[in-house]
Amino acid sequence: MGEGDRPGSGPKMPSERLRAFLDTNILLSALRGDEWPKRLFTPDAEQYARYVVNPVVLQELLLATAATAPGVDIDGVTRHLEIIDAKLDEDSEVLAHARGLRNQAVHVNDLLILGSARDCDVLLTNDQDLMNLGQDARVRMATPEQFLRGLGVVA
């Protein structure tokens, strides 16, 4: 959420729509009909937030749906998205932390997602590894449920 926002402080005004970066797992969950990710795309939620992805997330979405759910109509989700550039912030704490994790699994896509998400108010994900890495990037992270409850869109 934006600076000075507190979860539970009530809905934001529509003119102040937040930019929420969506991780691939959120989009796939929405396509499966999972409750909280699906609620992101309701008119109530969209009056307070606009959703963005980068080409990395879009490619992951297309590949995953082609492999696991051929024929799924992804237009129902992608029409709600703005596509922004993939960015890798070479001076960020993320890269410093990633170098320290050299022997662990850190995927370059995660670094590109975090780099792009730095230009947004929040990164929505259910990926605990990405959340842990994002703490070092100073990217605000939330699950869809946390985000929607923080907006005051759902009780």
Position 139 scores a pLDDT of 81
Decide if 50 contacts 22 (C-beta within 8 A): no
Contact predicate 12/47, CB 8 Å: no
In whole angstroms, give the CA distance from residue 134 to residue 146: 16
Is 141 in a helix, a strand, or coil? strand
Whole-model pTM: value is 0.77
Ranges of residues in the chain with a pLDDT under 50 are: 1-14, 101-103
DSSP 127: -
CATH of 16-151, one of 3.30.1330.10, 3.40.50.80, 3.40.47.10, 3.40.50.1010: 3.40.50.1010
- Residue-level pLDDT at 95: 57
Percent of the chain with pLDDT over 90: 37
